[in-house]
Amino acid sequence: MAELTILYNNRAQEGLHPGWGFAAHIRTEGAVVMLDGGADKMVLEHNAEAMACNLDAVTALAISHAHCDHMGAVSSIFHKGLHLYVPPVLAKRYADVEEDGITLTAVKRPTEIVPGVRSIGQLGRRTPEQALLVDGETGPVLITGCAHPGIARMVRRAIELAERPLALVLGGFHLLGMNDNELRRTIDELTRLDIDRIAPCHCTGDDAIAAFRDAYGDRFVAVEAGSRLSI
């Protein structure tokens, strides 16, 4: 079983700070992995301390894509021995981290990060992005930063890799401002992909999140900074 904690999101539980961005902390039996770090170091560090998530204990950090609301605070996670996984477009930007004892890997294809956690590989051209696929107790879990290449496309890639339907899809779905017809088509497409539970947040948009809540009923999972799930 893995434990997933949201450390950075637009909405936050009492005692935590909200911020436009996303960061997920994933604790497996043998490692700690993070996807993204949010935008503001003070927000990330406050929330990590409040949730007892030691950033110096993170084994590996994956940056989903090259936007500041996902990578602005990642230096708070940097420490000697960290393994950093980035889309190739960010490889040059972070090349210097190897001088500080950080291992840098440019991820283009599906890549194991630690046992039970892998990148689905880079998708998209305009905004290349990766997401994480975690082996959960009840099935595979996909965690997305913003899903710029399309949330349905990323889910399909994850299903191909997992070779089974997903137990949970969580993260930013990049649906903010989408019109009603496009939103309905996206929800219908995801419904056909037989996802068990869904947890949209960050750049999904309030209207889209409400539509997912209506469509999924008790299979909808509300998440914010401070949410902690056993997966």
Q: Give the span between the Cα atoms of 119 and 100, in whole angstroms.
A: 24
Non-local CB neighbours of 164 within 8 Å, separated by 6+ positions: 139, 140
> Comparing 1 with 172, which gets the higher pLDDT?
172
CATH of the domain at 69: 3.60.15.10
In which band, very low, low, confident or very high, does the pLDDT at 169 lie, cut at 50, 70 and 90? very high
Query: Percentage of the chain with pLDDT > 90?
Result: 99
Non-local CB neighbours of 78 within 8 Å, separated by 6+ positions: 61, 84, 97, 100, 102
Q: Give the span between the Cα atoms of 30 and 218, in whole angstroms.
A: 32
Overall average pLDDT of the 109-135 stretch? 98
Residue 77 is classified by DSSP as T
Counting the structural domains of the chain, the total is: 1
Label residues 174-204 b or e (16+ Cβ within 10 Å = b).
bbeebeeeebeebbeebeeeebebbbbbbbb
The domain of 95 spans 3-230
Find how far residue 125's CA is from the centre of its chain. 19
Query: Percentage of the chain with pLDDT > 70?
Result: 100
- Tell me the pLDDT tens digit for each residue of 4-45: 999 999 999 999 999 999 999 999 999 999 999 999 999 999
Asked if 187 and 219 touch (Cβ cutoff 8 Å), the reply is no
Q: Give the span between the Cα atoms of 45 and 76, in whole angstroms.
A: 7
Is the pLDDT score of 208 beyond 90?
yes
Q: Give the span between the Cα atoms of 222 and 39, in whole angstroms.
A: 22
pTM (2 d.p.):
0.98
Interior angle at CA 224, CA 166 and CA 60, nearest 5: 65
Is the pLDDT score of 1 beyond 90?
no
Total number of residues shown for the chain? 231
Tell me the pLDDT of the chain averaged across its residues. 97
Overall average pLDDT of the 146-152 stretch? 98
Identify the bridge partners of residue 172 per DSSP, sorted by sequence position: 201
- Tell me the pLDDT tens digit for each residue of 38-91: 999 999 999 999 999 999 999 999 999 999 999 999 999 999 999 999 999 999
